[in-house]
């Protein structure tokens, strides 16, 4: 039985780019592709893995003196072919579900070299992110201009004489290594944070959990908060969210101190570590949807690991009180949103505590105004929220937060990864109002304090 999500708007079905036999096609994240030609091109990840082959989205091709490379962490490109002088026809990688849920595709990320002094056209569908991202020489990512992305199937890119290397992405990207590098840096810089490996993914990548709290305050006086991001591989806004949340709770400030003094935070940076590294849009390395494994995770390593930790916390003295499941979605949304679970799938009282957190988040940031509010009849076996409701009901306020790839509400500019970090900070700050945390005395520690403590 599928989880019914009552959507305020209609999610657009993305146009398909046909290009010299290289196009694989594209679709809305939550809508299965039905075109027989695209279905025939979809790739079962277990098939190439079993044969020891390089994943087909990891390509290195040189055309007209320019090298296109997606063979690295989080890189993905279905194909590329010459379409004329300085014109290149690209296609998205289409991944297949091993659960019969159909193919998915929108994520792309690749490097270019040999572009100095050239203007090139890349025909590649990017309807779910009208303004893709670009950087040159390994610098900062930026939003493409209207001239660079004049429509949702084309990019026209000009490079200066000193710009020989560039990288293009669907949105501000964060691969597995990039994410864990940032998380490690945050943890190493904070005396309040500790990181542990809770197990390995299906393909053997470390799955980490970060714990943040003030050990000088008894745990009996604290609320436990659980956060995880990136159940679906291409949903990168969720990881920017998570990084902002982690920065806020480790921050050396009165707010950070207040949160740490009254909360124990458990943050899992990446659930779908393999899918993220592979450059998938949605599924994991087995072609599975992690969110559909919570009732029976025996065949899903990552969900089983998270479930074991959740069960342990819920059996202990400091049970989880808030659980944030961070996601992204596609389509034309005005605002980010939560899926508020509603009666009769949950109690009216549970509706109320969800709304309390949504209101607190609204009060914590100008980047959210609940303008795209959504509701959900909570399915019995989909999403971690279902698992905790089935077992602990109103004890745990669990919700999914969905980011999008469109414009921010404050000034109508294109939303960025930095904006999602700010939203993540606000998700932490909102806990002060939600739990009604008392103010605390805060004296910033001196370097001498950390040297002896």
Does residue 193 belong to any structural domain of this protein?
yes
If asked whether residues 103 and 210 sit together in one domain, one would say no
Q: Which residues pair with 109 in a beta bridge?
A: 76, 169
Q: Count Cβ atoms within 10 A of the Cβ of residue 148 and give its class: 0-12 exposed, 13-18 middle, 19 or more buried.
A: middle
Single out the residue in 169, 196, 211 at which a domain terminates.
169
Domain contains 403: yes
Does residue 95 fall inside a structural domain?
A: yes
CATH number at residue 183: 3.40.630.10
The pLDDT, as a whole number, for residue 47 is: 63
Per-residue confidence (pLDDT) for residue 50, from 0 to 100: 62
Task: Verify that 192 and 91 share a domain, yes or no.
Answer: no
165 with 96, same domain: the answer is: yes
Residue 448: inside a domain, yes or no?
no
* 377 and 333 Cβ atoms separated by less than 8 Å: no
The verdict on 259 and 315 lying in the same domain is yes
Beta bridge partners of 320: 224
Q: How many independent structural domains does the chain possess?
A: 2
Q: How high is the pLDDT of residue 446?
A: 59
- Let me know if residue 203 belongs to a domain: yes
186 and 305 share a domain? yes
Do 160 and 291 fall within a single domain?
no
Three-state helix/strand/coil letters over 383-405: HHHHHHHHHHHHHCEEEEEEECC
Q: Is residue 445 part of a domain?
A: no
Please name which of 16, 144, 147, 3 lies closest in space to residue 89, comparing C-alpha atoms. Answer: 16
End residue of a domain, out of 132, 153, 169: 169
Domain interval for residue 64: 4-169
pLDDT value at residue 443: 80
* Domain shared by 36 and 123, yes or no: yes
Considering the domain boundaries, does residue 354 fall inside one? yes
Residue where a domain stops, chosen among 126, 149, 169: 169
359-393 in b/e form (b: 16+ CB < 10 A) is ebbbebbebbebebebbbebbeebbbbbbbbeeee
Per-residue pLDDT 10s for the chain (453 aa) are 333 333 332 222 222 222 322 222 222 335 444 445 444 456 666 666 666 678 999 999 999 999 999 999 999 999 999 999 999 999 999 999 999 999 999 999 999 999 999 999 999 999 999 999 999 999 999 999 999 999 999 999 999 999 999 999 999 999 999 999 999 999 999 999 999 999 999 999 999 999 999 999 999 999 999 999 999 999 999 999 999 999 999 999 999 999 999 999 999 999 999 999 999 999 999 999 999 999 999 889 999 999 999 999 999 999 999 999 999 999 999 999 999 999 999 999 999 999 999 999 999 999 999 999 999 999 988 999 999 999 999 999 999 999 999 999 999 999 999 999 999 999 999 999 999 999 998 888 755 544 444
Domain co-membership, 237 together with 138: no
Judge if 392 and 258 occupy the same domain.
yes
Q: Is residue 441 part of a domain?
A: no
Distance CA 224, CA 320 (A): 5
Q: Are residues 158 and 194 in the same domain?
A: no
The answer to whether residues 250 and 121 belong to one domain is no
Domain containing residue 39: CATH number: 2.60.40.3120
Q: Are residues 395 and 314 in the same domain?
A: yes
Residue 164's CB is within 10 A of a number of other CB atoms, namely 17
Burial of 160 (0-12, 13-18, 19+ CB in 10 A): exposed
For residue 323, which of 286, 357, 369 has the smallest C-alpha distance? 357
Say how far apart CA 223 and CA 433 lie, in whole Å.
Answer: 13
């Amino acid at each position: 039985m599928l989880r019914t999500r009552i959507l305020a708007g209609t999610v657009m079905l993305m146009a398909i780019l046909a290009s010299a036999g290289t196009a694989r096609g594209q679709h809305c994240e939550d809508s299965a592709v039905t075109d027989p030609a695209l279905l025939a091109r979809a790739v079962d990840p277990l098939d190439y893995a079993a044969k020891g082959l390089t994943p087909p989205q990891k390509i290195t091709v040189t055309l007209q003196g320019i090298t296109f490379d997606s063979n690295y962490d989080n890189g993905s490109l279905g194909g590329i072919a010459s379409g004329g002088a300085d014109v290149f026809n690209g296609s998205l990688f289409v991944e297949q579900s091993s659960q019969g849920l159909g193919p998915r595709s929108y994520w792309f990320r690749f490097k270019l070299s040999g572009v100095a002094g050239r203007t090139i056209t890349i025909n590649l569908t990017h309807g779910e992110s009208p303004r893709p991202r670009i950087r040159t020489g390994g610098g900062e990512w930026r939003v493409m201009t209207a001239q660079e992305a004049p429509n949702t199937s084309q990019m026209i890119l000009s490079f200066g004489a000193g710009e020989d290397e560039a990288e293009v992405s669907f949105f501000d990207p964060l691969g597995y290594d990039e994410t864990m590098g940032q998380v490690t840096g945050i943890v190493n810089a904070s005396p309040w944070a500790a990181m542990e490996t809770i197990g390995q993914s299906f393909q053997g990548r470390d799955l980490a959990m970060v714990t943040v709290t003030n050990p000088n305050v008894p745990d009996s006086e604290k609320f436990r908060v659980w956060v995880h991001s990136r159940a679906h591989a291409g949903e990168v806004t969720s990881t920017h969210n998570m990084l902002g949340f982690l920065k806020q709770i480790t921050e050396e400030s009165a707010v950070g101190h207040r949160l740490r003094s009254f909360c124990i935070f458990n943050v899992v940076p990446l659930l779908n570590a393999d899918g993220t590294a592979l450059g998938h849009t949605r599924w994991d390395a087995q072609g599975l949807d992690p969110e559909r494994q919570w009732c029976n995770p025996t065949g899903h390593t990552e969900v089983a690991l998270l479930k074991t930790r959740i069960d342990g916390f819920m059996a202990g003295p400091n049970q989880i009180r808030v659980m944030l499941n961070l996601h992204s979605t596609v389509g034309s949304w005005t605002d980010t949103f939560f899926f508020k679970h509603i009666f009769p799938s949950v109690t009216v009282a549970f509706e109320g505590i969800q709304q309390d957190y949504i209101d607190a988040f609204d009060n914590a940031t100008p980047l959210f105004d609940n303008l795209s509010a959504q509701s959900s009849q909570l399915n019995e076996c989909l999403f971690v929220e279902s698992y905790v409701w089935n077992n602990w009901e109103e004890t745990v306020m669990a919700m999914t937060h969905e980011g999008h790839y469109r414009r921010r509400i404050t000034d109508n500019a294109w939303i960025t990864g930095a904006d999602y970090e700010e939203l993540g900070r606000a998700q932490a700050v909102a806990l002060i109002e939600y739990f009604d945390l008392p103010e605390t005395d805060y004296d910033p520690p001196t370097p001498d304090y950390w040297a002896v403590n």
